[in-house]
Amino acid sequence: MLAVLFSILVVMAVLSICSELFMRIRVTKRETSDKIAWWRRGGDEVVAAYQELFPNSQLPLFRRFVFWLVIAWSAAVLLALWKSN
């Protein structure tokens, strides 16, 4: 059971990384000024620009969901390990 849940988290993390790359590529293609700068900027700036350019996209929501899911999963595992000792 633990292996299945861990595998799901790994897949979600890979999808989150791919969505980050996808957002950066789309923002880079749309912006005409300094295309390289979008690869140096932080994720929050990219998400804000992406939401401005593509207001109906669900990618930023997915990224937030994956982030909080990983945080909750990590807390649950740490709590389980702490209780087992």
Domain ranges of the chain: 2-84
Tens-digit pLDDT profile for residues 45-54: 888 888 888 8
The long-range contacts involving 23-32, CB below 8 angstroms and separated by at least 24 positions, are 23/47, 23/50, 23/59, 23/60, 26/50, 26/53, 26/54, 27/53
What are 39's two structure tokens?
């690869």
- Average pLDDT along the chain: 80
Q: What's the predicted TM-score (pTM) here?
A: 0.65
What are 7's two structure tokens?
């595998």
Distance CA(54)–CA(23), nearest Å, equals 10
- How many percent of the chain have pLDDT more than 90? 0
